[in-house]
Amino acid sequence: METRADDFYPTRLERPTESFERQDPVVHNKGSDRTNGPLSETELTHYERDGFLVFNNFLDQATVRQFREDLRGYEDDESILRSEGTITEPGKQEIRSIFGIHELSDRFDRLTRDPKILAMVRQLLGSEAYIHQSRINFKPGFHGKGFDWHSDFETWHAEDGMPRMRAVSFSIALTDNTPFNGPLMLIPGSHKTFLPCVGRTPEDNYQSSLKKQELGVPNDRDLAAMADEYGIKAPTGPAGSLIIFECNTLHASNANMSPWPRSNLFFVYNSVENQLQAPFCGNKPRPDFLGNRSNTEALVPVPEDEGRKTG
Protein backbone atom coordinates (compact mmCIF):
# COMPACT_ATOMS: atom_id res chain seq x y z
CA MET A 1 0.00 0.00 0.00
CA GLU A 2 1.25 3.49 -0.79
CA THR A 3 1.30 6.11 1.92
CA ARG A 4 -0.99 9.05 1.26
CA ALA A 5 0.62 12.47 0.82
CA ASP A 6 -1.53 13.81 3.66
CA ASP A 7 -0.53 11.03 6.06
CA PHE A 8 1.52 12.58 8.85
CA TYR A 9 1.64 9.32 10.84
CA PRO A 10 2.25 6.31 8.56
CA THR A 11 1.52 3.03 10.34
CA ARG A 12 0.38 -0.59 9.72
CA LEU A 13 3.41 -0.89 7.49
CA GLU A 14 4.94 -4.00 5.96
CA ARG A 15 8.30 -3.48 7.61
CA PRO A 16 9.25 -2.03 11.01
CA THR A 17 10.16 1.66 10.78
CA GLU A 18 11.70 4.02 13.28
CA SER A 19 9.56 5.92 15.77
CA PHE A 20 9.46 9.68 15.30
CA GLU A 21 8.47 12.86 17.11
CA ARG A 22 4.81 13.91 17.08
CA GLN A 23 3.97 16.54 14.45
CA ASP A 24 1.30 18.29 16.54
CA PRO A 25 1.19 20.39 19.70
CA VAL A 26 0.02 18.69 22.90
CA VAL A 27 -1.91 21.75 24.13
CA HIS A 28 -3.46 23.39 21.07
CA ASN A 29 -4.59 26.66 22.66
CA LYS A 30 -2.05 29.36 21.94
CA GLY A 31 -0.83 32.59 23.49
CA SER A 32 -3.10 34.36 25.95
CA ASP A 33 -5.91 31.87 25.20
CA ARG A 34 -3.82 29.12 26.76
CA THR A 35 -4.89 29.70 30.35
CA ASN A 36 -8.39 30.85 29.40
CA GLY A 37 -10.15 27.90 31.06
CA PRO A 38 -10.31 25.76 34.20
CA LEU A 39 -6.80 24.26 33.82
CA SER A 40 -3.95 26.15 35.46
CA GLU A 41 -0.60 26.74 33.78
CA THR A 42 0.87 24.09 36.14
CA GLU A 43 -1.74 21.55 35.04
CA LEU A 44 -1.15 22.38 31.37
CA THR A 45 2.61 21.98 31.84
CA HIS A 46 2.10 18.58 33.49
CA TYR A 47 -0.19 17.51 30.67
CA GLU A 48 2.41 18.55 28.12
CA ARG A 49 5.13 16.66 29.99
CA ASP A 50 3.22 13.48 30.93
CA GLY A 51 0.35 13.25 28.45
CA PHE A 52 -2.19 12.89 31.26
CA LEU A 53 -3.72 14.56 34.31
CA VAL A 54 -5.46 13.00 37.33
CA PHE A 55 -8.26 14.58 39.38
CA ASN A 56 -9.37 12.56 42.40
CA ASN A 57 -13.03 12.92 43.46
CA PHE A 58 -13.95 14.71 40.25
CA LEU A 59 -17.46 13.27 40.09
CA ASP A 60 -19.59 13.37 43.25
CA GLN A 61 -20.51 10.04 44.86
CA ALA A 62 -24.27 10.37 44.20
CA THR A 63 -23.67 10.63 40.45
CA VAL A 64 -21.16 7.76 40.57
CA ARG A 65 -23.85 5.64 42.25
CA GLN A 66 -26.42 6.58 39.60
CA PHE A 67 -24.06 5.55 36.78
CA ARG A 68 -23.36 2.27 38.59
CA GLU A 69 -27.09 1.60 38.92
CA ASP A 70 -27.60 2.32 35.21
CA LEU A 71 -24.80 -0.10 34.49
CA ARG A 72 -26.35 -2.91 36.54
CA GLY A 73 -29.54 -2.33 34.59
CA TYR A 74 -27.71 -2.82 31.27
CA GLU A 75 -26.64 -6.33 32.31
CA ASP A 76 -30.29 -7.40 32.15
CA ASP A 77 -31.16 -5.33 29.07
CA GLU A 78 -31.49 -7.70 26.12
CA SER A 79 -31.43 -4.85 23.56
CA ILE A 80 -28.12 -3.61 24.98
CA LEU A 81 -26.68 -7.14 25.23
CA ARG A 82 -27.48 -7.68 21.53
CA SER A 83 -26.31 -4.22 20.37
CA GLU A 84 -23.38 -4.06 17.93
CA GLY A 85 -21.63 -1.69 20.32
CA THR A 86 -21.68 -4.22 23.17
CA ILE A 87 -18.46 -6.21 23.44
CA THR A 88 -18.27 -9.35 25.56
CA GLU A 89 -15.25 -11.07 27.14
CA PRO A 90 -13.36 -13.41 24.77
CA GLY A 91 -15.27 -16.69 24.77
CA LYS A 92 -17.84 -15.48 27.28
CA GLN A 93 -21.12 -13.58 27.57
CA GLU A 94 -19.88 -11.13 30.19
CA ILE A 95 -20.05 -7.51 29.05
CA ARG A 96 -16.68 -5.82 28.62
CA SER A 97 -17.70 -2.53 27.01
CA ILE A 98 -20.79 -0.77 25.72
CA PHE A 99 -19.81 1.65 22.97
CA GLY A 100 -21.89 4.64 21.92
CA ILE A 101 -23.25 4.92 25.45
CA HIS A 102 -23.69 8.72 25.20
CA GLU A 103 -26.40 8.05 22.61
CA LEU A 104 -28.14 5.47 24.81
CA SER A 105 -28.00 7.26 28.16
CA ASP A 106 -29.22 10.80 28.85
CA ARG A 107 -27.08 10.88 31.95
CA PHE A 108 -23.96 10.07 29.96
CA ASP A 109 -24.90 12.55 27.22
CA ARG A 110 -25.27 15.34 29.78
CA LEU A 111 -21.93 14.41 31.37
CA THR A 112 -20.14 14.77 28.02
CA ARG A 113 -21.66 18.28 27.74
CA ASP A 114 -20.76 19.35 31.27
CA PRO A 115 -19.69 23.02 31.05
CA LYS A 116 -16.49 22.57 33.08
CA ILE A 117 -15.43 19.50 31.10
CA LEU A 118 -16.08 21.21 27.77
CA ALA A 119 -14.11 24.25 28.93
CA MET A 120 -11.12 21.98 29.71
CA VAL A 121 -11.50 20.27 26.34
CA ARG A 122 -11.54 23.61 24.48
CA GLN A 123 -8.45 24.66 26.41
CA LEU A 124 -6.56 21.49 25.42
CA LEU A 125 -7.76 21.17 21.81
CA GLY A 126 -7.86 24.89 20.99
CA SER A 127 -11.28 24.60 19.35
CA GLU A 128 -14.79 23.30 19.81
CA ALA A 129 -15.07 19.53 20.00
CA TYR A 130 -17.42 16.59 19.47
CA ILE A 131 -17.53 13.00 20.78
CA HIS A 132 -15.42 10.64 18.68
CA GLN A 133 -16.21 7.60 20.81
CA SER A 134 -17.82 6.84 24.16
CA ARG A 135 -18.16 3.73 26.24
CA ILE A 136 -18.71 2.17 29.62
CA ASN A 137 -16.08 -0.44 30.46
CA PHE A 138 -16.70 -3.37 32.78
CA LYS A 139 -13.90 -5.46 34.24
CA PRO A 140 -15.55 -8.13 36.38
CA GLY A 141 -13.87 -9.45 39.54
CA PHE A 142 -11.38 -12.29 38.84
CA HIS A 143 -12.40 -12.56 35.18
CA GLY A 144 -11.65 -9.16 33.64
CA LYS A 145 -8.85 -9.45 31.11
CA GLY A 146 -6.27 -6.77 30.38
CA PHE A 147 -5.39 -4.66 27.34
CA ASP A 148 -1.87 -4.67 25.90
CA TRP A 149 0.10 -1.42 25.48
CA HIS A 150 -1.13 0.82 22.66
CA SER A 151 -1.73 4.39 21.54
CA ASP A 152 -5.42 5.07 20.79
CA PHE A 153 -4.42 7.62 18.16
CA GLU A 154 -2.60 4.94 16.16
CA THR A 155 -5.86 3.01 15.75
CA TRP A 156 -8.02 6.10 15.24
CA HIS A 157 -5.63 7.32 12.56
CA ALA A 158 -5.24 4.00 10.73
CA GLU A 159 -8.78 2.64 11.06
CA ASP A 160 -10.90 5.80 11.47
CA GLY A 161 -8.96 8.36 9.41
CA MET A 162 -8.32 10.79 12.28
CA PRO A 163 -5.71 13.00 10.61
CA ARG A 164 -3.87 14.74 13.47
CA MET A 165 -3.20 14.36 17.18
CA ARG A 166 -5.90 16.70 18.41
CA ALA A 167 -8.13 14.53 20.55
CA VAL A 168 -8.32 13.86 24.27
CA SER A 169 -9.80 11.02 26.35
CA PHE A 170 -11.68 11.30 29.63
CA SER A 171 -11.84 8.27 31.90
CA ILE A 172 -13.95 8.50 35.06
CA ALA A 173 -13.74 5.63 37.56
CA LEU A 174 -17.08 4.27 38.81
CA THR A 175 -15.26 1.97 41.23
CA ASP A 176 -12.10 2.49 43.28
CA ASN A 177 -8.93 1.98 41.26
CA THR A 178 -6.65 -0.31 43.27
CA PRO A 179 -3.33 -1.89 42.26
CA PHE A 180 -5.18 -5.23 42.03
CA ASN A 181 -8.26 -4.64 39.87
CA GLY A 182 -6.48 -3.89 36.61
CA PRO A 183 -6.21 -0.10 36.70
CA LEU A 184 -5.17 2.04 33.74
CA MET A 185 -1.38 2.12 33.35
CA LEU A 186 0.27 4.91 31.38
CA ILE A 187 3.77 5.70 30.18
CA PRO A 188 4.20 9.41 31.01
CA GLY A 189 5.87 11.26 28.14
CA SER A 190 5.13 8.58 25.55
CA HIS A 191 2.63 10.88 23.79
CA LYS A 192 5.55 12.88 22.38
CA THR A 193 6.62 10.02 20.09
CA PHE A 194 4.72 8.17 17.40
CA LEU A 195 5.45 4.44 17.20
CA PRO A 196 4.49 3.11 13.75
CA CYS A 197 3.08 -0.41 13.91
CA VAL A 198 3.64 -3.32 11.56
CA GLY A 199 1.02 -5.27 9.65
CA ARG A 200 -1.69 -4.81 7.05
CA THR A 201 -5.12 -4.20 8.62
CA PRO A 202 -7.78 -6.75 7.60
CA GLU A 203 -11.28 -5.46 6.76
CA ASP A 204 -13.56 -5.51 9.84
CA ASN A 205 -10.50 -5.87 12.06
CA TYR A 206 -12.46 -4.23 14.89
CA GLN A 207 -14.61 -7.33 15.32
CA SER A 208 -11.64 -9.18 16.80
CA SER A 209 -9.42 -6.27 17.88
CA LEU A 210 -11.91 -5.06 20.49
CA LYS A 211 -11.55 -8.39 22.27
CA LYS A 212 -7.81 -8.74 21.83
CA GLN A 213 -5.74 -6.23 19.89
CA GLU A 214 -3.27 -7.92 17.52
CA LEU A 215 -2.61 -5.00 15.17
CA GLY A 216 -1.72 -1.47 16.16
CA VAL A 217 0.46 -2.89 18.92
CA PRO A 218 3.95 -1.35 19.03
CA ASN A 219 6.87 -3.76 18.97
CA ASP A 220 8.51 -4.83 22.24
CA ARG A 221 11.73 -2.94 21.50
CA ASP A 222 9.95 0.42 21.07
CA LEU A 223 7.76 -0.18 24.11
CA ALA A 224 10.74 -1.17 26.25
CA ALA A 225 12.60 1.98 25.16
CA MET A 226 9.61 4.12 26.19
CA ALA A 227 9.15 2.38 29.57
CA ASP A 228 12.89 2.47 30.27
CA GLU A 229 13.04 6.18 29.51
CA TYR A 230 9.82 7.29 31.22
CA GLY A 231 8.69 4.53 33.61
CA ILE A 232 5.11 3.42 34.15
CA LYS A 233 2.38 5.03 36.27
CA ALA A 234 -0.93 3.55 37.43
CA PRO A 235 -2.98 6.25 39.14
CA THR A 236 -5.08 4.75 41.91
CA GLY A 237 -7.89 6.54 43.67
CA PRO A 238 -11.49 6.43 44.81
CA ALA A 239 -14.53 6.07 42.58
CA GLY A 240 -15.25 9.40 40.89
CA SER A 241 -11.62 10.04 39.93
CA LEU A 242 -10.96 11.48 36.48
CA ILE A 243 -7.98 10.73 34.26
CA ILE A 244 -7.59 12.99 31.21
CA PHE A 245 -5.14 11.54 28.70
CA GLU A 246 -3.82 12.67 25.37
CA CYS A 247 -4.77 10.54 22.36
CA ASN A 248 -1.20 9.33 21.75
CA THR A 249 -0.27 8.41 25.35
CA LEU A 250 0.70 4.74 25.56
CA HIS A 251 -1.55 2.88 27.98
CA ALA A 252 -2.51 -0.64 28.99
CA SER A 253 -4.22 -2.47 31.79
CA ASN A 254 -3.60 -5.79 33.49
CA ALA A 255 -6.16 -8.45 34.35
CA ASN A 256 -8.44 -7.88 37.32
CA MET A 257 -7.05 -10.32 39.92
CA SER A 258 -9.27 -8.98 42.70
CA PRO A 259 -12.83 -10.04 43.48
CA TRP A 260 -13.87 -6.41 43.07
CA PRO A 261 -15.22 -5.35 39.68
CA ARG A 262 -13.75 -2.34 37.96
CA SER A 263 -15.85 -0.10 35.78
CA ASN A 264 -15.36 3.30 34.27
CA LEU A 265 -16.82 5.83 31.86
CA PHE A 266 -14.69 6.63 28.84
CA PHE A 267 -15.31 9.35 26.28
CA VAL A 268 -13.11 10.91 23.64
CA TYR A 269 -13.30 14.46 22.33
CA ASN A 270 -11.99 15.25 18.88
CA SER A 271 -11.48 18.80 17.61
CA VAL A 272 -14.13 19.93 15.09
CA GLU A 273 -11.11 21.03 13.03
CA ASN A 274 -9.77 17.45 12.97
CA GLN A 275 -12.70 15.72 11.22
CA LEU A 276 -12.27 12.11 10.15
CA GLN A 277 -11.15 11.36 6.61
CA ALA A 278 -10.87 8.07 4.75
CA PRO A 279 -9.04 5.61 7.04
CA PHE A 280 -5.29 5.80 6.46
CA CYS A 281 -5.01 1.99 6.45
CA GLY A 282 -6.99 1.98 3.20
CA ASN A 283 -10.01 0.07 4.52
CA LYS A 284 -13.60 1.22 4.74
CA PRO A 285 -14.43 3.21 7.89
CA ARG A 286 -15.35 1.41 11.11
CA PRO A 287 -18.93 1.70 12.37
CA ASP A 288 -20.10 4.96 13.93
CA PHE A 289 -20.12 3.51 17.45
CA LEU A 290 -16.30 3.25 17.21
CA GLY A 291 -15.45 6.28 15.12
CA ASN A 292 -18.36 8.72 14.96
CA ARG A 293 -18.88 10.42 11.58
CA SER A 294 -22.59 11.25 11.90
CA ASN A 295 -22.74 13.83 14.58
CA THR A 296 -19.64 15.97 14.53
CA GLU A 297 -20.90 19.42 15.33
CA ALA A 298 -19.54 21.36 18.28
CA LEU A 299 -21.07 20.11 21.54
CA VAL A 300 -23.35 22.54 23.34
CA PRO A 301 -22.81 22.75 27.12
CA VAL A 302 -25.79 21.81 29.28
CA PRO A 303 -26.97 24.68 31.49
CA GLU A 304 -25.14 24.64 34.83
CA ASP A 305 -28.24 23.76 36.87
CA GLU A 306 -28.97 20.65 34.78
CA GLY A 307 -25.48 19.28 35.30
CA ARG A 308 -24.31 17.36 38.32
CA LYS A 309 -21.54 18.47 40.60
CA THR A 310 -18.05 18.04 39.27
CA GLY A 311 -15.09 19.56 40.92
Question: In the complex, which residues of this chain contact a second copy (CB under 8 A)?
Answer: 141-142, 146, 149, 178-180, 185, 220, 223-224, 227-228, 232, 234, 252-255, 257-260
Cβ proximity to a second copy: between 127 and 236 the closer is: 236
Cβ proximity to a second copy: between 234 and 302 the closer is: 234
Q: Would you say the C-alpha torsion 205, 210, 216, 218 has a positive or negative sign?
A: negative
Minimum CB–partner distance for residue 241 and a second copy (Å): 17
Residue/partner pairs of 76-81 with CB below 8 Å, 24 or more apart = 80/104
Minimum CB–partner distance for residue 82 and a second copy (Å): 26
Q: What is the DSSP letter of 210?
A: T
Minimum CB–partner distance for residue 259 and a second copy (Å): 4
Count of alpha carbons within 13 angstroms of residue 46, beta-carbon side:
12
The Cβ of residue 295 has, within 10 Å, a number of other Cβ atoms equal to: 11
Cβ proximity to a second copy: between 8 and 180 the closer is: 180
Minimum CB–partner distance for residue 202 and a second copy (Å): 22
Cβ proximity to a second copy: between 261 and 279 the closer is: 261
Cβ proximity to a second copy: between 227 and 302 the closer is: 227
The phi, psi pair for 194, rounded to 5°, reads -100, 130
By the 8 A CB rule, do 47 and 244 touch? yes
Minimum CB–partner distance for residue 242 and a second copy (Å): 21
